[in-house]
């Protein structure tokens, strides 16, 4: 009898659990298929930019977006922000823009595009831009400085220190583990291997890092000084001596509390009630009345590492080749804008994508717009474009190639007591195996492959950019350049952002009216759920450098990639 009741209880609990799971899943499905309620834009509204979410290039807002932090978050993309500000310029319901920046989750070049668009808004309209924050980080103040009025909490912090770039070196750690990196490269500046062979930066690496960081910092000083009517040299001196807090009055118009700010916003909008509308809310309204035209310009967003295959959330050669072919064959698409935000990756995958770019260029204009980073493989797929556009603060170049392998024989034998033995049909059957060191003959074979890829890369650049091959080799060698320097040496054509690239594309295609369509296309609800299940099984948070190390093990052995992942604070 006891077992009977126990069995009934277990079955009852299972039934109740299943019921609740089905109920929860039903709610999720209903949320997916139900039409989203659009917020009404009231008269005398203020466009509200907080910029605290990660700002990606493409608007990838999905019906089903589950992360460790939220169940249904809206994407605050660069595409959304730029289009919303553009619409707000002529929208009579929008009286101005309220910025509340603190920590900007975007790269320097993306921040530059947002800042430039805000500056355009200020110059072309009689509407206001007001900024307020308790803490202004360096990038936050860079964007906020374009405002008509910059306010801060009375006890707030203005944190401007200059730029710093840090690199980690794993050489001694690998030695202690018994792991031997085996690296082959071409290019004296191709320092991707340094974290595994040195304990500090080489002179060449330090030289290139200092060069492009100085370019970025000079741009920061110039833009902020112009907007705030400051002396650039005095501004820089105060930053170097960390005297910004002591001279806060030069950078902040007034220190006020939030309630005082609200009163100012009400007064500016001539409204007794504060009507704020966020970028995701306004974007839906801003795009619903877009012009319909048979003529289209395709904007293909290429973000992340360049890899073989489909790539999922990366730039997969199979996926992107297919998309570019589709764009080329579509007669209604009159031009392609390739927006690149990538440190590079597989040299083979880059070559595959470039082939489709070259074929498309023969049939319609191809314009490249570079984001925060478009280097190495990212530059590889760009070099044949009719026009290359980038911001002065874009990181580009890094025309070089390297091969990276790891020998774990010592770790297995001496650290873990594990031994291996091999049977093979030929001398090179287990070449590049992690279980033994490479022979000199094998290193020569890989070096020849590296040289071949480098030669192909530089030939593409010379032909695509109409430059002398000897000159290309001089500015290549794996060296990283700022967008500003890249223009001076001929690697890019025009300084500007995504909108500038689209304007160039429309002019080259001789279009007066056109519709912009974005690629890759948004997944449907079922695809989103399947992708969610596949990706979230491995939803592990890596430290930035851990992820670099982890990814390198899975990639093609020959890489056209930035020397390192660049994180500038």
Sheet of 149-158: strand order equals: 254-255, 149-158, 128-136, 94-99, 45-49, 276-278
Annotated catalytic residue 54: no
Q: How far is CA 286 from the centre of its chain?
A: 24
What gap in Å lies between CA 406 and CA 552, rounded to an integer? Answer: 10
SS (H, E, C) 361-395: HCCCCEEEEEEEEEECHHHHCCCCCCEEEECCCCE
Show the DSSP H helices in 165-202 as ranges.
171-177, 194-197
**Residue closest to 87 by CA, chosen among 315, 291, 324, 375:** 291
What gap in Å lies between CA 277 and CA 39, rounded to an integer? Answer: 8
What gap in Å lies between CA 76 and CA 138, rounded to an integer? Answer: 20
- 10 Å CB burial of residue 386 (0-12, 13-18, 19+) is middle
Cβ-contact 398, 375 below 8 angstroms: yes
> 3-class SS at 52?
coil
What gap in Å lies between CA 436 and CA 445, rounded to an integer? Answer: 16
What gap in Å lies between CA 106 and CA 23, rounded to an integer? Answer: 38
Backbone phi, then psi, for 539, in 5-degree steps? -80, 75
Q: Which residues pair with 315 in a beta bridge?
A: 306
**Residue closest to 46 by CA, chosen among 167, 155, 128:** 128
What gap in Å lies between CA 366 and CA 369, rounded to an integer? Answer: 10
> How does 205-225 read in b/e, with b if 16+ C-beta sit within 10 Å?
beebbeebbebbbebbbebbb
- Please say whether the dihedral angle defined by the alpha carbons of residues 168, 170, 171 and 176, taken in this order, is positive or negative: positive
Q: How far is CA 479 from the centre of its chain?
A: 20
SS (H, E, C) 507-560: HHCCCCCCEEEEECCCCCHHHHHHHHHHHHCCCCCCCHHHHHHHHHHHCCCEEE
Cα-based torsion angle of the residue sequence 430, 433, 437, 438 in order, rounded to the nearest 10 degrees? 60
Q: How far is CA 82 from the centre of its chain?
A: 16
Q: Which residues pair with 278 in a beta bridge?
A: 48
> 3-class SS at 222?
helix
> 3-class SS at 459?
helix
Annotated catalytic residue 190: yes
Question: In sequence order, what are the residues at sequence separation of 6 or more whose Cβ sits closer than 8 angstroms to the Cβ of residue 511?
Answer: 295, 297, 334, 335
Selected catalytic residue, list 303, 376, 398, 506:
376
What gap in Å lies between CA 132 and CA 498, rounded to an integer? Answer: 27
Q: Within the chain, what is the greatest distance between any pair of CA atoms?
A: 92
Selected catalytic residue, list 83, 190, 334, 409:
190
Q: Where in the sequence numbering do the catalytic residues fall? A: 190, 376
């Amino acid at each position: 009898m006891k077992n009977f009741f126990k069995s009934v209880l277990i079955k009852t609990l299972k039934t109740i659990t299943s019921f609740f799971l089905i109920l929860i899943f039903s709610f999720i499905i209903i949320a997916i298929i139900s039409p989203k309620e659009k917020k009404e834009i009231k008269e005398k509204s203020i466009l509200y930019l907080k910029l605290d979410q990660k700002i990606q290039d493409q608007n990838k807002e999905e019906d089903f977006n589950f992360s460790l932090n939220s169940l249904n978050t809206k994407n605050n993309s660069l595409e959304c922000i730029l289009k919303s500000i553009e619409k707000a310029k002529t929208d009579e319901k929008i009286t101005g823009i309220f910025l509340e920046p603190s920590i900007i989750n975007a790269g320097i070049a993306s921040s530059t595009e947002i800042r430039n668009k805000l500056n355009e808004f200020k110059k072309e309209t009689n509407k206001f831009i007001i900024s307020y924050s308790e803490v202004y980080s360096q990038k936050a103040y860079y964007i906020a400085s374009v405002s008509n009025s910059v306010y801060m909490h009375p006890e707030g912090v203005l944190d401007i220190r200059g730029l710093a770039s840090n690199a980690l070196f794993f050489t001694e750690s690998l030695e202690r583990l018994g792991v031997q990196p085996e690296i082959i490269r071409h290019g004296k500046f191709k320092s991707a291997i340094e974290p595994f062979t040195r304990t500090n930066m080489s002179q060449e690496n330090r030289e290139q890092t200092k060069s492009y960081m100085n370019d970025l910092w000079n741009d920061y000083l110039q833009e902020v000084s112009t907007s705030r009517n400051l002396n650039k040299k005095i501004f820089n001196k105060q930053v170097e001596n960390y005297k910004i807090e002591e001279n806060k009055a030069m950078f902040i118009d007034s220190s006020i509390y939030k309630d005082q700010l609200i009163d100012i916003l009400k007064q500016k909008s001539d409204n007794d009630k504060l009507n704020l509308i966020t970028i995701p809310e306004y974007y839906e309204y801003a795009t619903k009345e877009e012009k319909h035209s048979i003529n289209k310009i395709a904007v293909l967003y290429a973000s992340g590492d360049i890899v073989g295959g489909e790539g999922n959330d990366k730039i997969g050669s199979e996926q992107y080749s297919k998309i570019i072919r589709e764009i080329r064959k579509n007669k209604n698409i009159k031009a392609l804008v390739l927006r690149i935000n990538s440190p590079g990756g597989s040299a083979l995958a880059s070559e595959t994508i470039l082939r489709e770019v070259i074929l498309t260029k023969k049939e319609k204009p191809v314009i490249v717009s570079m984001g925060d980073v478009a280097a190495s493989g990212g530059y590889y797929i760009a070099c044949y474009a009719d026009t290359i556009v980038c911001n002065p603060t874009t990181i580009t170049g890094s025309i070089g190639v390297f091969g990276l392998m790891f020998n774990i024989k010592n770790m297995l034998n001496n650290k873990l007591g594990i031994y291996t033995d091999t049977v093979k049909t030929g001398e090179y059957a287990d070449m590049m195996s992690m279980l033994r060191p490479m022979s000199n003959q094998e290193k020569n074979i890989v070096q020849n492959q590296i040289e071949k890829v480098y030669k192909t890369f530089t030939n593409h650049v010379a032909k695509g950019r109409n430059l002398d091959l000897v000159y290309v080799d001089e500015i290549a060698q794996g060296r990283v350049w700022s967008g500003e320097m890249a223009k001076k040496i001929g690697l890019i054509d025009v300084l500007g952002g995504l909108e500038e690239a689209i304007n160039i594309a429309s002019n080259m295609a001789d279009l007066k009216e056109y519709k912009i369509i974005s690629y890759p296309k948004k997944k449907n609800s079922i695809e989103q759920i399947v992708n969610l299940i596949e990706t979230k099984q491995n939803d592990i948070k890596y430290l930035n450098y851990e992820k670099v190390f982890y990814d390198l093990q899975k990639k093609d052995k020959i890489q056209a990639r930035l020397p390192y992942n660049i994180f500038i604070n």
